[in-house]
C-alpha cells in the first residue's frame, strides 16, 4: 500500500490553480502529501521532473509514501530509472509476475515497464489491485490507471493547464473525481504543452495481443438456464463444484496472506493478518482458509466493530423494551464493561457482536491450536462525531448518508483498537491490532446471489431474471465503492485485500451454471450463496453456514445514529 500525489502543469503555473498565492499553494500541497503519507508510514519522498518540449516547458511532481508489505527491506518510491522514467506504484501483483519472497513487486514491475514499448503489454499480464502513475520520459508520455475492478483509489482534478492526482484528499472545491478503472489513461506531454489537457489525454483500451481476457475485465456470467428439474443439482456435481470453489478461493487467500514482512519484535507470534469480522459466512470462511495458509503459532485478529447508537437505544427505551442481556463474560460488549458496568456494556450488544462471538467459538472448535484474537472495537457516539469530519474528508468524493455509515464502520474497524480475548477463557484486555493486512469478504454477495434483490429478481422473472441480476452485479463491480473503502481503511496504514474479488475467482464463478451458485427455491440462509454455504459446512462451520445476510451498517449499528431518520441516498451537504 502506498500513497500517491502527482501534479502536472505547463510552464510555471502554481499548484493547484494559477491565480492562487504561492504560500497557499505550498500549504495545500504539503497538507495533501501529509494526508497521503498516513497510507504509507515507512517511507516518503518527492521527485520533480522538468521537461523541455518543442512548445515549452512542462513540470511533473511525484510524491509517494510506502507501507512496507513486500520484500526484505523497505523499497523506496518514487522509482526513478537512469533513463529518467518515474513510477509511483500503489498495488500488489498476486498473479502474472514471478516474485520471490524477498523481492518487491513494484521494483520488478518498474523494470518490466522500462523495457516495454507500451505499458499496456505489462499490465495486461497481471492480476491484483493497483493504482499507478508512470512517466515514460523518452516517449514524452504519462500514464495513470487503476486496476480493472478499481480496488485501489486514485482521484483526479483537471483543467486545461494542469492535472492533479492523489490517492486521497483532493479538496472538494476542486471537485475531485474517481479515475475510471476501465481504461489506461495516457497524456502526450508535447501536445499538452501546446494545446492543453483535453486535447492531449486519451483513454486507451486494455486489450492487448496475448493478454488473459479474464484479467482485463470481469467475465460474463454463464447464461445457461436450468429447467425446473435441473434446479436440484446432482450431489456428485455439487460436491465437485464445492471442492473446486474451495481450491480456487483458498489459493486466492494464500496469495493475499503469504510473504507479509514481520514488523513486530514479538516475531513469529504477532498477527500479520486481520479479518474484518461480522461473524457472517463470507468472512468466517475467509478466516478458516487463512488459518490453513498461515503458521499455526501466529495469531489471526478478528476485528468486530460496534457503535453506540443513541437512536436505537432511545427507540428501545421508548417502546418499553428491556436492554439486551450482556454478552457471555459480561465484558464482551464494551470498553466500559471493564469496570463491571453491565448497563454500559449492553449498548455495544449489536447484531454483529452477537454473531461474531458465536462465529469465533465455532472457529476455535473447527480450527484448534490457533490464537484467534477476537477484537471488540467499540465506538462511543461522541468519538464517532469527533472523527466524522476526517472520515468525510477521506471518503470524498463519496458524500451520501449511506457512504458515511459504511465509511464509519470501516474506519473504526480497520483501526483495530479495542478489547481482545485471545481464547474463550481469557480475560478481555486492551489491544491494538498490529496486522497491516486486512481481509474483507466483499464480493461474495454480488457473485453468489446473496442480496434479497436476487431473490426478488427470481420471483419476478425466474432463472433468466436471476442471471440478469447477477450479470448486472458483475458488470458494475468496477463502479462500486472500492475506492472509497480503500481511502478510509488505508488511513491507518493498513491494506485491505479482497479474496472474493480476485479476477481469477470471478472468472471461475462466472463459468459455473447459476444453479450451482444459488438456489432461490430454497429458504433464505440456505439457497442464497448456496455454493459458499456448502463450502463452509464442508469445513465444519455449520452455524456460520446458515447465518443470514445482514448489511454492515445495520449489523454494527453505524447507520441512523442521529435523531433524524435520514435516508441513505441523501447528500450530507443537503441535510
State whether 254 and 198 are in the same domain: no
State whether 63 and 15 are in the same domain: yes
What is the model's pLDDT at position 262?
87
CA 460 to chain centre: 33
How far apart, in whole angstroms, are the C-alpha atoms of residue 72 and residue 70? 7
Q: Which of 22-36, 378-392, 518-532, 545-559 has the lowest mean pLDDT?
A: 22-36
Q: Report pTM.
A: 0.92
- Beta pairing partners, 3: 65
* Nearest to 333, CA basis, from 320, 350, 321: 350
What is the model's pLDDT at position 341?
34
How far apart, in whole angstroms, are the C-alpha atoms of residue 53 and residue 193? 7
In the predicted model, what is the mean pLDDT of residues 541-551? Answer: 95
pLDDT band at 138 (very low <50, low <70, confident <90, very high): very high
Listing DSSP states for 70-110 in one string gives SSSSPPPSSEE-TT--EEEEEE---BSS---TT--HHHHHH
Q: Is the model's pLDDT at 85 over the cut of 50?
A: yes
Question: In the structure grid, which three cell numbers stand for residue 467, read together?
Answer: 442471471
Residue 517 lies in a domain: no
State whether 204 and 251 are in the same domain: no
Q: Is the model's pLDDT at 316 over the cut of 80?
A: no
Q: Which of 161-165, 178-182, 332-336 has the lowest mean pLDDT?
A: 332-336
Residue where a domain terminates, one of 181, 213, 245:
213
Contact 331, 442 (CB under 8 A): no
CA 519 to chain centre: 28
CA 498 to chain centre: 6
Q: Is the model's pLDDT at 332 over the cut of 80?
A: no
State whether 254 and 398 are in the same domain: yes
Number of domains in the chain: 2
Contact 516, 241 (CB under 8 A): yes
State whether 159 and 250 are in the same domain: no
What is the model's pLDDT at position 231?
66
State whether 334 and 275 are in the same domain: yes
Residue where a domain terminates, one of 147, 181, 213:
213
In the predicted model, what is the mean pLDDT of residues 5-12? Answer: 88
Residue 42 lies in a domain: yes
What is the model's pLDDT at position 228?
67
pLDDT band at 198 (very low <50, low <70, confident <90, very high): very high
Cα-Cα-Cα-Cα dihedral sign, residues 524, 529, 533, 536: negative
How far apart, in whole angstroms, are the C-alpha atoms of residue 277 and residue 255? 20
Do you know the residue count of the chain? 575
Residue 221 lies in a domain: no
Cβ-based neighbour number of residue 531 at 10 Å? 25
Residues assigned a catalytic role: 2
pLDDT band at 299 (very low <50, low <70, confident <90, very high): very high
What domain range is 97 assigned to?
2-213
In the predicted model, what is the mean pLDDT of residues 43-62? Answer: 94
Q: In what order do the strands lie in the sheet with 56-66?
A: 43-53, 56-66, 2-10, 162-166, 155-158, 177-178
Q: Provide the CATH number for the domain around residue 286.
A: 3.40.50
How far apart, in whole angstroms, are the C-alpha atoms of residue 260 and residue 273? 9
What is the model's pLDDT at position 340?
33
What is the model's pLDDT at position 334?
37
What is the model's pLDDT at position 267?
56
First to last CA, the chain: 35
Q: Residue 500 in 3-state DSSP?
A: helix
Helix (H) or strand (E) holding 282: helix 281-293
Residue 522 lies in a domain: no
Q: Where are the beta strands (DSSP E) in 282-328?
A: 300-307
In the predicted model, what is the mean pLDDT of residues 461-488? Answer: 95
Residue where a domain terminates, one of 179, 213, 247:
213
Provide the mean pLDDT of the chain.
90
As a whole-number percent, the residues of the chain with pLDDT over 90 amount to 78
What is the model's pLDDT at position 319?
58
- Paired sense of beta strands 56-66 and 2-10, if any: antiparallel
What is the model's pLDDT at position 160?
87
How far apart, in whole angstroms, are the C-alpha atoms of residue 145 and residue 131? 6
* pLDDT tens track for 351-374: 999 999 999 999 999 999 999 999
State whether 104 and 252 are in the same domain: no
What is the model's pLDDT at position 268?
61
Amino acid at each position: 500500500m502506498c500513497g500517491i500525489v502527482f501534479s502536472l502543469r505547463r510552464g510555471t503555473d502554481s499548484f493547484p490553480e494559477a491565480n492562487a498565492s504561492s504560500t497557499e499553494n505550498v500549504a495545500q500541497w504539503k497538507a495533501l502529501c501529509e494526508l497521503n503519507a498516513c497510507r504509507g508510514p515507512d517511507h516518503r519522498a518527492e521527485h520533480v521532473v522538468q521537461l523541455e518540449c518543442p512548445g515549452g516547458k512542462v513540470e511533473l511532481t511525484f510524491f509517494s509514501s510506502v507501507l512496507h508489505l513486500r520484500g526484505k527491506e523497505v523499497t523506496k518510491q518514487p522509482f526513478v530509472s537512469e533513463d529518467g522514467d518515474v513510477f509511483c506504484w500503489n498495488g500488489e501483483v498476486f498473479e502474472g509476475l514471478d516474485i520471490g519472497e524477498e523481492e518487491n513487486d513494484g521494483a520488478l514491475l518498474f523494470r518490466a515497464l522500462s523495457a516495454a514499448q507500451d505499458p499496456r503489454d505489462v499490465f495486461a499480464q497481471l492480476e491484483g489491485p493497483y493504482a499507478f502513475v508512470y512517466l515514460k520520459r523518452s516517449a514524452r508520455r504519462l500514464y495513470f490507471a487503476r486496476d480493472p475492478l478499481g480496488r485501489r483509489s486514485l482521484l483526479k482534478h483537471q483543467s486545461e493547464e494542469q492535472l492533479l492526482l492523489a490517492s486521497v484528499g483532493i479538496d472538494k472545491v476542486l471537485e475531485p473525481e474517481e479515475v475510471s478503472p476501465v481504461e489506461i489513461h495516457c497524456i502526450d506531454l508535447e501536445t499538452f504543452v501546446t494545446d492543453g489537457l483535453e486535447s492531449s489525454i486519451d483513454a486507451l483500451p486494455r486489450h492487448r495481443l496475448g493478454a488473459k481476457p479474464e484479467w482485463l475485465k470481469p467475465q460474463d456470467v454463464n447464461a445457461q438456464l436450468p429447467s425446473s428439474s435441473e434446479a436440484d443439482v446432482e450431489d456428485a456435481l455439487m460436491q465437485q463444484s464445492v471442492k473446486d470453489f474451495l481450491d480456487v478461493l483458498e489459493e486466492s487467500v494464500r496469495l493475499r496472506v503469504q510473504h507479509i514482512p514481520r514488523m513486530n519484535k514479538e516475531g513469529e507470534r504477532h498477527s500479520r493478518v486481520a479479518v474484518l469480522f461480522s461473524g457472517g459466512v463470507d468472512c468466517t470462511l475467509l478466516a478458516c482458509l487463512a488459518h490453513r495458509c498461515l503458521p499455526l503459532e501466529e495469531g489471526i485478529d478478528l476485528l468486530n466493530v460496534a457503535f453506540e447508537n443513541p437512536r436505537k437505544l432511545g427507540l428501545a427505551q421508548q417502546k418499553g423494551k428491556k436492554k439486551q442481556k450482556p454478552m457471555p463474560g459480561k465484558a464482551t460488549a464494551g470498553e466500559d464493561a471493564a469496570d463491571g458496568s453491565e448497563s454500559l456494556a449492553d449498548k455495544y450488544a449489536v447484531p454483529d457482536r452477537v454473531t461474531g462471538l458465536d462465529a469465533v467459538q465455532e472457529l476455535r472448535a473447527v480450527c484448534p491450536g490457533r490464537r484467534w484474537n477476537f477484537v471488540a472495537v467499540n465506538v462511543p457516539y461522541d468519538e464517532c462525531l469527533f472523527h466524522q469530519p476526517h472520515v468525510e474528508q477521506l471518503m470524498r468524493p463519496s458524500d451520501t448518508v449511506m457512504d458515511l455509515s459504511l465509511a464509519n464502520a470501516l474506519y473504526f474497524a480497520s483501526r483495530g483498537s479495542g478489547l481482545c480475548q485471545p481464547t474463550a477463557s481469557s480475560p478481555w484486555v486492551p489491544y491494538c491490532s498490529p496486522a497491516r493486512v486486512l481481509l474483507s469478504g466483499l464480493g461474495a454477495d454480488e457473485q453468489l446471489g446473496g442480496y434479497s434483490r436476487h431473490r426478488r429478481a427470481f420471483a419476478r422473472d425466474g432463472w433468466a431474471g436471476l442471471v440478469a441480476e447477477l450479470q448486472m452485479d458483475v458488470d458494475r463491480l468496477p463502479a462500486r465503492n472500492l475506492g472509497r473503502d480503500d481511502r478510509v481503511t488505508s488511513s491507518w496504514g493498513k491494506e485491505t485485500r479482497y479474496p472474493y474479488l480476485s479476477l481469477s475467482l470471478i472468472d471461475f464463478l462466472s463459468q459455473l451454471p447459476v444453479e450451482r451458485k444459488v438456489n432461490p427455491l430454497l429458504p433464505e440462509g440456505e439457497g442464497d450463496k448456496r455454493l459458499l454455504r456448502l463450502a463452509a459446512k464442508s469445513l465444519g462451520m455449520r452455524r456460520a453456514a446458515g447465518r443470514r445476510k445482514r448489511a454492515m451498517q445495520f449489523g454494527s449499528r453505524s447507520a441512523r445514529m442521529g435523531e433524524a431518520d435520514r435516508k441513505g441516498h441523501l447528500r450530507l451537504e443537503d441535510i
